[in-house]
Amino acid sequence: MKNLKTPTSDSYHDYLIESLKNREEAAGYIEVVLEEGGDQPILLRKAIRNVVESCAKSDRLSDSAKQLHEKFDRILTESNATEIYTFVELLNAIGFRVAIAPKDPES
């Protein structure tokens, strides 16, 4: 039998990281996790980690941003993101919502 190479597909994670290189996509991704992920706080840590990984692959991640991510990740781990989700719930209860947007337009 001949050696056949079967086509392989990209993993979902690879696809996700690639799509998060678009800053509008990344902003929407974080926003949805903040709005919908209150009962799954680990989602916020994972979403931020995915966006940071995407920025690193796009050479848009400074050393200070890496350090801030590590610090933020530790805070989320220790608090289980309670403060953030409580803040989002409070805003919702008083008629506001969180919106995440890129700081600068895509170039």
102 part of a folded domain:
no
Question: How many domains does the structure of the chain reveal?
Answer: 1
106 part of a folded domain:
no
Give just the sign of the alpha carbon dihedral 68, 24, 57, 38.
positive
Using the structure block, give the residue that is written with the tokens 């692959």: 57
Which residue segment(s) compose the domain that 77 sits in? 14-93
54 part of a folded domain:
yes
Q: Is residue 7 scored above 60 in pLDDT?
A: no
pLDDT of amino acid 39:
80
5 part of a folded domain:
no
- Residue of 80, 49, 45, 78 whose CA lies nearest to 66: 49
pTM metric for this prediction: 0.82
pLDDT of amino acid 93:
96
